[in-house]
Amino acid sequence: MRIDIVSVFPEYFEVLNLSLLGKAQAKGLVEVRAHNLRDWTHDVHHSVDDTPVGGGAGMVMKPEVWAECLDDLLDLAPAEFPMTMGDGAATDAAAYAATAGDAAAGGTAAAAASSGAVAATDDAAAADTVSAADTRVPADRPVLIFPNPSAPLFTQADATELSRAGHLLFGCGRYEGYDARIPTYYRAQGVDVREYSIGDYVLNGGEVATSVMLEAITRLIPGFMGNPDSIVEESYTGEGALLEHRQYTKPATWRGMNVPEVLLSGDHGKVDRFRRDEALARTSKIRPDLIERLDCQALGKADRKT
């Protein structure tokens, strides 16, 4: 997998040479390149930001600089919006939403198309409602990812899907964020563009969010983990997608506390059932929202196996 990261602080990503991701790079499983966005500026101050249109505090990242950089890394020629593809960008927006299988999003974009207005904001709003997990990534198509606190949450399902991609390109925002036309433009160019939040809080920049997503994605690449079984039964993973049961190691008694006796029984069926029950109990207490989304059929199948 090729991974490009664009940031005004590319040094942030030197840590990716450590630990398992460092080993994966040495093995040739992944190739990570961090780029400095300022390398695509032309002014003496290497500016990447400007004041917000409409007023307000802070600065916004400029589309021209981002576009020069992304065109280079995605090997695309500059184009005007609406593009000379099909009936133009509004149709692209509708097509994008329809391919992603989201009726509400398709409706919004289709309305924009029929009104003849190329509304970048409508396109963005439509795309926002599209769950990335509903789509599949072909290995030969680059995926452009913008961390964004006001986007849908990044999940284990997204990590699983993106671990099959051949090329990921992360664009790290700073300041008040990036000009909203950037993702809209690349979607209309036919690029698979994703915007993800890593949680309901605001960070200073996209670097930490990119590192989080990158780690969640790359550890799922076949061959990345020494023991592939260690990613099979984990929190948020598989058809059940529960929180994992608690884990214990030796000694069996530590500071007067015993590990649950059933785990010492050697009876794998009982151990599995105990863990499953604990996973269910913890999930319903800590994350009842996961229980609501649970696929009961899948759970029944898993239970019958134990």
Smallest distance from ligand SAM to CB 174, Å? 6
Q: Looking at beta carbons only, is 145 or 280 nearer to ligand SAM?
A: 145
Smallest distance from ligand SAM to CB 198, Å? 4
Give the residue from 158, 148, 126 showing the smallest Cα distance to 199.
Answer: 148
Q: Looking at beta carbons only, is 40 or 66 nearer to ligand SAM?
A: 66
Do 201 and 97 meet the contact criterion of CB atoms below 8 Å apart? no
Burial of 186 (0-12, 13-18, 19+ CB in 10 A): buried
CA angle 242, 163, 65 (to 5 degrees): 120
190 lines the binding site for ligand SAM (CB under 6 A): no
197 lines the binding site for ligand SAM (CB under 6 A): yes
202 lines the binding site for ligand SAM (CB under 6 A): yes
Tokens coding 107: 């409706």
Burial of 286 (0-12, 13-18, 19+ CB in 10 A): exposed
**Which positions from 94 through 153 interact with ligand SAM, judged by CB under 6 A?**
147-150
51 lines the binding site for ligand SAM (CB under 6 A): no
Residues forming the annotated binding site for S-adenosyl-L-methionine? 173, 198-203
Smallest distance from ligand SAM to CB 230, Å? 27
Q: Looking at beta carbons only, is 131 or 197 nearer to ligand SAM?
A: 197
Smallest distance from ligand SAM to CB 291, Å? 25
199 lines the binding site for ligand SAM (CB under 6 A): yes
Tokens coding 216: 């969640």
Three-class SS state of 143 = strand
The torsion angles phi and psi of 17, rounded to 5 degrees, stand at -80, -5
Q: What whole-number distance in Å separates Cα of residue 281 and Cα of residue 296?
A: 15
Residue 206 identity: G
Q: Return the number of other C-beta atoms located less than 10 Å from residue 247's C-beta.
A: 8
- Pick one of 112, 172, 182, 216: the residue that binds ligand SAM (CB under 6 A): 172
Residues that bind ligand SAM in the complex, under the rule CB under 6 A: 147-150, 172-174, 176-178, 197-199, 201-206, 209
